[in-house]
Structure 1
Amino acid sequence: MSDKWSKKLGAIIKEYREANNLPLRKIAANLDLDQSTLSKIEKGDRKGNIEMIPTVANLFNLDYEGLQVDILSDKLIEENEEYPLFKEALEEALNKLKHK
């Protein structure tokens, strides 16, 4: 599994951190990580996590819902696309959610 979704999240953090001239230590502190870990996430050498999204959105004034949908949809596809009936299962899951 390539974890492209995690690399994408790390790239977003790096892009916005650098664009706002914010030090790695400040963003790491807000994410409750050490600088080394955040640096590895930004480089794609370590996996980020979905729970980081609200903080990232807040720190950089990004659309939280849009960011979560983008990253989470990538994660769902990456982790399940090898299953031949993934699309059908996803449609069924959506139907179940509608009736919940």
Structure 2
Amino acid sequence: MNFGEHIKQLREQNQLLQRQIASILEMDTAMLSKIERGERKAKREHIPSLAKLFQTNEKELFTIWLADQVCELVQKEDNPSEILKVAELKIKNSN
């Protein structure tokens, strides 16, 4: 599930309208709709507000958001899995 789908699911579980969430995030409803459909990206600074609003784990929301960013960056390459493996090794070796 991508970030937009996850936000939509949380919004629906909390019985909130797009216009309510959009107002809190200081964006228009059309923009939130595009984020939920995966046509636009949410901004990183929206994550704390969304976590607080939905009373959910901010780290989990951030992880889903960032995973979308990483996937978009590597998915069109010839060897995305290999790229991610190399990046994981670099991360492990830098700690």
Deviations 1:67-95 (A, max 9, x none): 22233234324413537552223321342
Question: Which of 85, 88, 93 pairs up with 2:86?
Answer: 88
Identity between Structure 1 and Structure 2 (%): 37
- How many aligned residue pairs are there? 91
Q: What TM-score, normalized by structure 2, do the two folds share?
A: 0.72
Q: CA deviation at 1:61?
A: 0.7
Instruction: Name the Cα RMSD after superposition.
Output: 2.3
Higher RCO (Cα < 8 Å, 6 or more apart): 1
The alignment status of 1:53 with 2:38, answered yes or no, reads no
Q: Unpaired segments of 5 or more residues in structure 2? A: none
Question: Which of 21, 31, 42 pairs up with 2:15?
Answer: 21
The list of structure 1 runs, each at least 4 consecutive aligned residues, that deviate by more than 6 angstroms after superposition, is none
Change beyond 3 A, Cα 1:13–1:83 = same
Q: What TM-score, normalized by structure 1, do the two folds share?
A: 0.70
**Which one-letter code corresponds to 1:14 in the other structure?**
K
**Which one-letter code corresponds to 2:22 in the other structure?**
A
